[in-house]
């Protein structure tokens, strides 16, 4: 095998995007994955019963569909089998009393529905979306661009000239508003606040987090445009398309390849990697690591001759992980019949929550190490979009619980016995899933009689599947303001550089953070020669 230009460690969405972007430039790339399959948080299996196809973790590809990576690679991936399934009703909220709000991809319908909830709320939503649209080029440059770069400095300077320095600072201040302040200030309807409050959880934040208000607006803007699409046939088909593209470009992908160290070259430059079996793979231009910070600096660079700088060591010691995640999957004998009515039948993602206060309460309980008494439940209905995910006439449900403690200190409801060491045992996992199931079953007429099988993954299970999901955190670390944007992963970080020449760091732990947009892989793959 000839020496590649780049070796990429890890095979999540950012690694695959980086590999494909480099391949477009004629660079030969080798992707190394320690597990028996590629994909990171993208994983599809028949985990409940034969013929029921579940995306175990990530399933909604709206960020990818709207990303620069898809704009660059989409046609090539589609030519290799990638396609998406859609619905015109991407999301909804369902409250305990059965009241609900359905969000569509039609602005006029949304405005009319929100206006019916409370006079002025429809007009307020239209103003919010129009305002975001007017700021989109600048806002998305900040959210997804290389922050330490001339283009960003020029964009900020241009905005300062347009708005004036004080006006620009006021704009930045508005972006830092919490979701609670934004939702309570913009909308009179509790139901409309309930629709958007759960979505900030999917950004690794809570309703009281700085800049969560901006994230709520961005999500509304994105899903009104692109919905909540899933990959037809399962997210694994996105991985297959990437693999075919990378191989067609002259690259290669190897699973079961556990990288244990970075190999130094002349001048202590990264010259390649060492595998657990002793094999060394060198690279002409460098090494890209799509791993968590502790894996890169605590494991792969443990024996590297150039010591880790003091500021990086300090940053690693202070690095904080976010809340854990619980996934629950159901195989059903028939599609769910929602007691609230058929308006929910084709909704991609339904949040079950009492509302804004309920989301705040559950998030706070999880952050304090408690099992939430009434967790926010995200219910995905993949078979409503893609019937091929289950045998004829049957269905699957995809549940995500984004408010789960990494280490359990207690149960907010006081009914689940928690081990003294705080571990997620099988008994705790299943008891918590029973709590969630009771909340869900109260809204579905045919649920109890329709369950064929259930499969639950606790935060500990997720970490066992992927070493980078520390404590079951799917967002690569706490996403609060002080550990995001310019300060991700560390206060000393500059884009995706490391202290070692020829070694770069990408993934959810780096800017622009988590999600299926492949942002860090795209930025680095575009920048490298």
User: Is residue 1 situated within a structural domain?
Assistant: no
CATH code at position 301: 3.50.50.60
> Is 192 in contact with 201 (CB distance < 8 Å)?
no
DSSP, collapsed to helix, strand or coil, labels residue 8 as strand
Residue 186: the pLDDT is 98
452, exposed or middle or buried, with CB in 10 Å at 0-12, 13-18, 19+?
middle
**pTM higher than 0.75:** yes
What are the pLDDT digits (tens) for 321-343? 999 999 999 999 999 999 999 99
Strand partners, 103: 91
User: Is residue 295 situated within a structural domain?
Assistant: yes
Residue holding tokens 């404590």?
471
End-of-domain residue from the set 205, 224, 243: 224
Pair (450, 343) in one structural domain: yes
Residue 287: the pLDDT is 98
Residue 211: the pLDDT is 98
**Over residues 16-26, mean pLDDT:** 98
pLDDT higher than 70, residue 20:
yes
DSSP, collapsed to helix, strand or coil, labels residue 18 as helix
The stretches of 370-510 forming alpha helices (DSSP H) are 382-385, 426-441, 447-450, 459-465
CA dist 351 and 233 (Å) reads: 24
CA dihedral of residues 522, 230, 131, 94 (deg, nearest 10)? -140
End-of-domain residue from the set 201, 224, 247: 224
> Is 399 in contact with 374 (CB distance < 8 Å)?
no
Residue 513, CB half-sphere, CA atoms under 13 Å: how many?
24
Residues 6+ apart with CB under 8 A from 186: 124, 125, 128
Per the structure, the count of domains in the chain is 3
What b/e string do you get for 417-439 counting C-beta neighbours within 10 Å, with b at 16 or more?
ebeeeeebeeebbebbbebbbee
Pair (114, 191) in one structural domain: yes
Residue holding tokens 């009771």?
438
SS (H, E, C) 377-396: EEEECHHHHCHHHCCCCCEE
Pair (261, 315) in one structural domain: yes
**Over residues 206-222, mean pLDDT:** 98
Q: Which of 45, 58, 20 is nearest to 400 (CA)?
A: 58
The mean pLDDT value of the chain amounts to 97
User: Is residue 92 situated within a structural domain?
Assistant: no
Pair (326, 437) in one structural domain: yes
Q: Please report which confidence band the pLDDT of residue 2 belongs to, taking 50, 70 and 90 as the band edges.
A: confident
Pair (315, 305) in one structural domain: yes
Inter-CA distances, 318 with 313, 490, 512, Å: 9, 9, 20
User: Is residue 93 situated within a structural domain?
Assistant: no
User: Is residue 205 situated within a structural domain?
Assistant: yes
Its sign, for the CA torsion 297, 298, 301, 306, is positive
**Over residues 518-529, mean pLDDT:** 98
Residue 1: the pLDDT is 58
User: Is residue 493 situated within a structural domain?
Assistant: yes
**Over residues 346-359, mean pLDDT:** 98
* Structure tokens given for 261: 């160290």
Pair (305, 378) in one structural domain: no
Residue 187: the pLDDT is 98
Pair (190, 208) in one structural domain: yes
> Is 18 in contact with 288 (CB distance < 8 Å)?
yes
CA dist 374 and 361 (Å) reads: 9
Pair (432, 510) in one structural domain: no
Residue 465: the pLDDT is 96
CA dist 65 and 348 (Å) reads: 16
Residues 6+ apart with CB under 8 A from 318: none
Pair (174, 249) in one structural domain: no
Other CB atoms closer than 10 Å to residue 316's CB: what's the count? Answer: 16
pLDDT higher than 80, residue 163:
yes
DSSP, collapsed to helix, strand or coil, labels residue 451 as strand
Residue holding tokens 């030969």?
28
Q: Which of 95, 16, 21 is nearest to 58 (CA)?
A: 16
End-of-domain residue from the set 224, 252, 286: 224
476, exposed or middle or buried, with CB in 10 Å at 0-12, 13-18, 19+?
buried
* Structure tokens given for 69: 């990576």
**Over residues 384-408, mean pLDDT:** 98
Pair (122, 220) in one structural domain: yes
CA dist 442 and 6 (Å) reads: 53
Pair (330, 315) in one structural domain: no
User: Is residue 90 situated within a structural domain?
Assistant: no
Q: Which of 508, 505, 452 is nearest to 476 (CA)?
A: 508
Pair (329, 460) in one structural domain: yes
User: Is residue 89 situated within a structural domain?
Assistant: no
For residue 507, give its domain range: 6-50+57-84+234-319+477-527
């Amino acid at each position: 095998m000839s020496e590649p230009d780049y070796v990429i460690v890890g095979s999540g969405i950012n690694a695959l995007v980086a590999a494909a972007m480099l391949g477009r430039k004629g660079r030969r790339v080798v992707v190394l994955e320690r597990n028996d399959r590629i994909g990171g948080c993208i994983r599809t299996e028949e985990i409940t019963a034969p013929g029921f196809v579940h995306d175990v973790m990530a399933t909604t590809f709206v960020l990818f569909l709207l990303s620069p990576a898809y704009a660059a690679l989409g046609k090539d991936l589609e030519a290799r089998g990638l396609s998406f399934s859609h619905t015109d009703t991407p999301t909804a909220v369902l409250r305990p009393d059965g009241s609900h709000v359905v969000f569509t991809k039609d602005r006029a319908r949304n405005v009319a529905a929100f206006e019916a909830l409370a006079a002025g709320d429809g007009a307020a939503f239209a103003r919010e979306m129009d305002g975001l649209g007017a700021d989109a080029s600048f806002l998305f440059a900040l959210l997804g661009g290389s922050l330490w770069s001339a283009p960003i400095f020029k964009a900020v300077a241009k905005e300062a000239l347009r708005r004036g320095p004080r006006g620009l600072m006021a704009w930045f201040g508005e972006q830092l508003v919490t979701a609670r302040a934004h939702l309570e200030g913009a909308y009179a309807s509790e139901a409309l606040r309930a629709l958007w409050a759960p979505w900030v959880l999917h950004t690794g934040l809570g309703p009281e987090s700085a800049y969560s208000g901006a994230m709520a607006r961005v999500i509304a803007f994105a899903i009104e445009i692109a919905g909540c699409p899933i990959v037809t046939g399962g997210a694994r088909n996105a991985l297959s398309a990437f693999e075919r593209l990378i191989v067609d470009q002259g690259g290669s992908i190897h699973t079961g390849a556990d990288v244990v160290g970075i190999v130094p070259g002349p001048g202590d430059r990264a010259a390649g990697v060492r595998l657990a079996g002793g094999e060394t793979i060198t690279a002409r231009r460098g090494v890209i690591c799509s791993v968590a910070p502790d894996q890169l600096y605590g494991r792969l660079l443990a024996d590297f001759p150039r010591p880790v700088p003091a500021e990086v060591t300090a940053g690693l010691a202070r690095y904080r992980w976010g809340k854990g995640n619980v996934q629950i999957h159901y195989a059903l004998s028939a599609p769910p019949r929602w007691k609230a009515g058929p308006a929910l039948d084709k909704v991609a993602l339904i949040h079950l929550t009492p509302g804004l206060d309920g989301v705040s309460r559950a998030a706070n309980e999880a952050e304090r190490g408690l099992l939430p008494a009434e967790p926010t439940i995200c219910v995905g209905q993949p078979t409503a979009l893609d019937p091929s995910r289950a045998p004829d006439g049957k269905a699957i449900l995809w549940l995500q619980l984004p408010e789960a403690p990494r280490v359990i200190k207690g149960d907010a409801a006081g009914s689940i016995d928690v081990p003294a060491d705080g571990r997620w045992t099988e008994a705790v996992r299943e008891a918590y899933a029973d709590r969630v199931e009771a909340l869900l079953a109260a809204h579905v007429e045919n649920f109890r009689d329709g369950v064929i099988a259930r499969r639950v993954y606790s935060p500990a299970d997720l970490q066992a599947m992927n070493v980078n999901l520390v404590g079951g955190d799917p967002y690569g670390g706490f996403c609060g303001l002080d550990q995001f944007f310019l300060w991700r992963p560390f206060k000393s970080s500059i884009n995706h550089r490391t202290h070692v020449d020829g070694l770069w760091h990408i993934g959810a732990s780096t800017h622009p953070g988590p999600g299926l947009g492949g942002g860090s892989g795209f930025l680095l793959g575009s920048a490298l020669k």
